């Protein structure tokens, strides 16, 4: 992908955080003391908690349900990703939403309508995910593409922690999964679940994964969990920059970049249009103009998340040009209304 040159006038351009994130699965923690496990993972620096719900039908194992998640929700504010390995999520979805899950991912292999459940998750303002088992092709996601925020790829057969990572599945699906999030200009996520640890993190990072679900590797006796989380994140970022980004450090997810510089009226217009497409925009008085310059005459910078820059360029570069024209050359008084 070509790199986009841009002015670096704003200090927010320099803010950076790591790209790949870890969701700690508590499946292999002490299930007799789940609240402690969740609080420990949070203290040790996990980005999310991944909650594996199993019903003994869809998978040959049984764990916990919405009531347990609701009880855990009271103990921490860290985001909860629910992974429902159950045959009838439609029947119980209200309970999982009520329990306070921030995202709910269901399986595409179930024998009941999928669409209503995805819609319900989204209507509740949560992220909706679809998960594929190792043998399920990604193309199974096609009918639901526009309804999903998360694609979760299983790299073990679901049901148990501690199994070995399926490298061939990872190579075949992880990078390709991104295609199913093309409708999301910002905030779509690929999750990888199963067998992720320090030996496999670099490979999955190199496939552009956003969220690494890590279970058993965090709960080994005597393991320094905080170090393991940092190590896995760093290895994933290393894989990303080595394989996907030509040695350029991974795009930090919440770093902001300047997308355009316009007069106030046009800047507000463009902000409205870009935000309507799902990309958050910040407006700042441009540092290019004197601090005491009048707000209507001066220039304003539009800042957007770096991760959405490519999509914004594709969709809005033309519109930005039009609005620039409408304002007349910068540095001169504004020429009135933005074009419709
Ligand atoms: C397996 C679960 C996974 C599991 C991952 O069915 O969906 O989330 O906890 O555990 P590890 O990392 O041990 O493979
Ligand atoms: Zn899981």
CA of residue 25 to ligand 2 center, whole Å: 7
CA of residue 204 to ligand 2 center, whole Å: 16
Pocket mutation for ligand 1, best pick of 24, 37, 86, 161 (most atoms within 8 Å of C-beta): 161
Does residue 334 surpass a pLDDT of 80? no
Which residues are within 5 Å of ligand 2 (an ion), measured at CB? Answer: 52, 83, 193
Rounded distance between C-alpha atoms, residue 340 and residue 338, angstroms = 6
CA of residue 137 to ligand 2 center, whole Å: 18
Q: Tell me which ligand sits closest to the C-alpha of residue 105.
A: 2
Residue 39 banded pLDDT, cuts 50, 70, 90 = very high
**Region 3-32 average pLDDT:** 65
Rounded distance between C-alpha atoms, residue 63 and residue 54, angstroms = 5
Please list every protein residue whose CB sits less than 6 Å from any atom of ligand 1: 25, 27-28, 50, 52, 83, 156, 158-159, 161-163, 193-196, 213-217
CA dihedral 197, 200, 205, 211 (to 10 degrees): -40
Q: Tell me which ligand sits closest to the C-alpha of residue 61.
A: 1
**Tens digit of pLDDT for each residue in 111-140?**
999 999 999 999 999 999 999 999 999 999
Does residue 65 surpass a pLDDT of 70? yes
- CA end-to-end distance (rounded Å), the chain: 32
Residue 7 banded pLDDT, cuts 50, 70, 90 = very low
**Which residues make beta-bridge pairs with 327?**
none
Q: How far is CA 45 from CA 42, 117, 228, in A?
A: 5, 31, 10
Question: What share of the chain has pLDDT > 70, as a percent?
Answer: 90
> Quick one: residue 132, left, alpha or beta (phi over 0 = left, psi -120 to 50 = alpha)?
beta
Catalytic site residues?
52, 193
* pLDDT of amino acid 330: 56
Residue 278 banded pLDDT, cuts 50, 70, 90 = confident
Q: What is the DSSP string of 126-157?
A: -EEEEEE-TTS-GGGGGGGGGG-SEEEEESS-
Residue 185 banded pLDDT, cuts 50, 70, 90 = confident
Rounded distance between C-alpha atoms, residue 7 and residue 176, angstroms = 32
**Region 169-187 average pLDDT:** 93
CA dihedral 132, 133, 134, 138 (to 10 degrees): -20
* pLDDT of amino acid 312: 94
Does residue 340 surpass a pLDDT of 50? no
Rounded distance between C-alpha atoms, residue 171 and residue 155, angstroms = 10
Q: pTM for the whole thing? A: 0.86
The helix (H) or strand (E) run that includes residue 243 is: helix 225-243
Phi, psi of 152 (to 5 degrees): -110, 125
18-243 placed in CATH 3.30.70.20: no
* pLDDT of amino acid 250: 78
**Residues in Cβ contact with 123 at an 8 Å cutoff, skipping those fewer than 6 apart:** none
Strand ranges (E), 48-178: 48-54, 80-85, 103-107, 127-132, 150-154
pLDDT mean across residues, the chain = 90
Does residue 9 surpass a pLDDT of 50? no
Per DSSP, 50 falls in state E
**Tens digit of pLDDT for each residue in 212-245?**
999 999 999 999 999 999 999 999 999 999 998 8
The helix (H) or strand (E) run that includes residue 228 is: helix 225-243
**Domain coordinates in residue numbering, the chain:** 18-243, 252-327
**Tens digit of pLDDT for each residue in 186-216?**
889 999 999 999 999 999 999 999 999 999 9
Residue 4 banded pLDDT, cuts 50, 70, 90 = very low
């Amino acid at each position: 992908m070509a790199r986009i040159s841009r002015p670096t006038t704003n200090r927010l351009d320099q803010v950076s955080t790591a790209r790949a994130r870890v969701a700690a699965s508590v499946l292999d923690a002490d299930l007799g003391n789940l609240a402690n496990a969740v609080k420990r993972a949070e203290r040790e620096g996990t980005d999310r908690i991944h909650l594996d719900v199993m019903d003994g039908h869809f998978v040959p194992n049984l764990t916990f349900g919405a009531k347990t998640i609701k009880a855990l929700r009271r103990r921490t504010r860290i985001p909860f990703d629910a992974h429902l390995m159950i045959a009838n999520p439609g029947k119980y979805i209200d309970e999982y939403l009520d329990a306070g899950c921030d995202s709910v991912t269901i399986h595409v292999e179930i024998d009941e309508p999928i669409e209503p459940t995805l819609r319900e998750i989204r209507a509740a303002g949560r992220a909706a995910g679809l998960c594929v088992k190792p043998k399920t092709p990604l193309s199974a996601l096609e009918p639901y593409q526009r309804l999903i925020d998360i694609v979760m790829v299983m790299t073990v057969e679901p049901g148990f922690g501690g199994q070995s990572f399926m490298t061939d599945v990872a190579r075949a699906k992880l990078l390709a999964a991104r295609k199913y999030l093309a409708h999301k200009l910002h905030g779509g996520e690929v999750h990888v679940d199963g067998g992720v640890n320090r030996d496999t993190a670099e490979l999955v990072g190199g496939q552009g994964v956003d969220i690494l679900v890590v279970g058993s590797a965090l709960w080994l006796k005597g393991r320094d969990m905080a170090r393991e989380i940092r190590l896995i994140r760093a290895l994933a970022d290393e894989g990303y920059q080595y394989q996907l980004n030509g040695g350029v450090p991974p795009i930090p997810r919440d770093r902001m970049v300047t997308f355009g510089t316009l007069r106030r009226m046009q800047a507000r217009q463009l902000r409205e249009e870009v935000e309507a497409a799902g990309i958050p925009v910040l407006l700042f008085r441009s540092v290019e103009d004197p601090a005491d310059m009048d707000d209507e005459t001066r220039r304003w910078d539009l800042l957007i998340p770096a991760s959405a820059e490519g999509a914004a360029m594709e969709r809005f570069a033309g519109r930005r040009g039009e609005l620039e024209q409408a304002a007349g050359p910068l540095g001169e008084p504004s020429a009135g209304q933005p074009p419709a």
